[in-house]
């Protein structure tokens, strides 16, 4: 009959005979086998009838009521009398404590789940559970293999973005006399945008072929289900998607378009300052003091302050007008991108696009004209954003988690372990680990 202490301990197949106080303040629980299946030979399955000896083992287990529990399991070593069985003797084992196991199955599973679901590092989980780093790392790998699917479910909108994991490694080629990159520290991530799967996978190396190989590794039905792909303004991803998913619609994230326009303003400001003043900009230069206001959104600032900024730029002589032309082009480009999610018609888009191109052409600033050329090159993908409103914000959020995991672990030496940790961290919400309930 199972007693209450056995129910409290919760180790199926084992019964508590008595409990004593240990030297370290924790209880020492004495156990005996309560499962008849433990008498069966693990090779032939025949129940043994002869006992060779009694042995006592002390597997480590999870704490009970906040106190470390010392287990003392007195079990039998049986003799298998079947002549054709290669196993001569065997000891009793249960599901929670397999043969020759020094820790229980639930302790190993808890250590792995603390890393994969709880967001702890392997060192922290090993310290909390009283295990070594290799044992905890192996427990995490087993947990990840159990909770992460081998193949992701189909997605309608796929996001692709890259993140850096440390510095690249170079090696000098004595025959060619050049330095060659031996290790590419870029990781390209594939994200389910709009779905709940999070990070679908990662590949090492920011090349078109690595992206193509990952996509081709999915099933034909999976590739056919992808309708849109959100990327930043990266020609590598554009070439890869055109080759691997020719039916999908490419969408450029508007954040990177505006970011490019802000960089143009900085380039114009730095160039004109160097040409006119003969040095770099510094505090006291009016164009330097206005640098943050130039990249801020105009709708977030007071109109009078905006008019004052425009007037100051117009009065800066040779420096101000080119900067003002770049700022006007940036704001007109933002005005164009603001049509997203408003169901714009073709006439509205054409009008604002024409105004943007006119400002870029009339200003006569090389950097602004280059911005117009870039927008023209990527216009089909930008127009797709105006009609769909799809952004790559989910991929950027995933990248933040990827970098946070790397900082928490003080860096990764093994890229395979990093990808495994990253996938577990970015899929916790989809797996319900962040739900307080």
Average pLDDT along the chain, 437 residues, taken 10 residues at a time? 81 91 86 91 91 93 87 93 90 91 94 92 92 94 91 92 81 88 82 88 88 94 95 94 95 94 95 92 90 88 88 87 94 94 93 95 92 96 95 91 86 83 88 74
Nearest 10 degrees: CA dihedral of 336, 342, 345, 346? 20
Task: Determine the distance from the C-alpha atom of residue 175 to the mean position of all C-alpha atoms in its chain, rounded to a whole number.
Answer: 40
Task: Please tell me the predicted confidence (pLDDT) of residue 126.
Answer: 94
Here the tokens at position 280 are 């770099």
User: Edge-to-edge, what's the strand order for the sheet holding 249-252?
Assistant: 199-204, 186-192, 157-164, 228-231, 249-252
**What was the pLDDT predicted at 405?**
87
- pLDDT at residue 301, as a whole number: 83
pTM tops 0.85, yes or no: no
- pLDDT the model gives residue 226: 95
- Give residue 1's pLDDT: 55
Tally of residues, the chain = 437
Q: What per-residue confidence (pLDDT) applies to 54? A: 94
Position 186 scores a pLDDT of 84
User: Are the C-beta atoms of residues 215 and 223 closer than 8 Å to each other?
Assistant: yes
Q: Give the span between the Cα atoms of 250 and 227, in whole angstroms.
A: 9
The answer to whether 415 and 421 are in contact (CB under 8 A) is: no
């Amino acid at each position: 009959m199972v007693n209450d202490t056995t129910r409290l301990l919760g180790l199926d197949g084992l019964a508590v005979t008595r409990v004593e106080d240990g030297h370290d303040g924790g209880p020492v629980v004495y156990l005996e086998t309560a499962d008849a299946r433990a008498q069966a030979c693990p090779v032939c399955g025949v129940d043994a009838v002869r006992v060779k000896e009694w042995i006592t083992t002390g597997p480590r287990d999870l704490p009970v009521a906040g106190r470390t529990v010392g287990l003392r399991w007195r079990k039998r070593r049986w003799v298998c009398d079947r002549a054709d069985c290669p196993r001569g003797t065997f000891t009793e084992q249960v599901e929670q404590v397999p043969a020759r196991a020094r820790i229980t199955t639930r302790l190993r599973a808890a250590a792995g789940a603390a890393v994969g679901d709880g967001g702890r590092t392997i060192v922290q989980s090993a310290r909390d559970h009283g295990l070594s780093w290799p044992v905890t790392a192996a427990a995490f790998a087993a947990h990840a293999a159990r909770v992460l699917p081998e193949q992701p479910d189909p997605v309608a909108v796929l996001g692709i973005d890259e993140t850096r994991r440390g510095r690249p490694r170079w090696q000098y080629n004595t025959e060619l006399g050049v330095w060659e990159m031996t290790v590419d520290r870029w990781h390209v991530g594939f994200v389910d945008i709009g779905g709940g799967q999070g990070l679908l996978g990662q590949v090492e190396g920011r090349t078109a072929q690595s992206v193509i190989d990952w996509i081709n590794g999915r099933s034909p039905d999976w590739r056919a289900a992808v309708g849109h792909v959100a990327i930043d303004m990266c020609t590598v991803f554009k070439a890869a998607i055109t080759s691997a998913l020719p039916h999908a619609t490419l969408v450029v994230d508007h954040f990177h378009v505006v970011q490019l326009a802000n960089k143009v303003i900085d380039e114009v400001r730095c160039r004109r300052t160097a040409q006119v003043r003969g040095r770099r900009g510094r505090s006291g230069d009016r164009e330097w003091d206005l640098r943050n206001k130039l990249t801020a959104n105009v709708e977030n600032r007071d109109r009078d302050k905006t008019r004052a900024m425009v007037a100051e730029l117009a009065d800066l002589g040779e420096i101000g007008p080119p900067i003002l032309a770049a700022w006007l082009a940036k704001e007109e480009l933002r005005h164009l991108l603001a049509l997203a999610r408003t169901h714009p018609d073709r006439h509205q888009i054409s009008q604002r696009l024409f105004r943007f191109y006119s400002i870029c052409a009339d200003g006569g600033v090389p950097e602004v004209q280059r911005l117009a050329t870039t927008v023209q090159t990527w216009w089909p993908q930008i127009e797709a954003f105006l009609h769909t409103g799809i952004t790559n914000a989910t991929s950027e959020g995933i990248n933040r988690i990827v970098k946070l995991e790397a900082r928490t672990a003080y860096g990764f030496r093994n890229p395979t372990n990093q990808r495994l940790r990253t996938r577990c961290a970015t899929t916790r919400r989809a797996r319900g680990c962040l739900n307080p309930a």
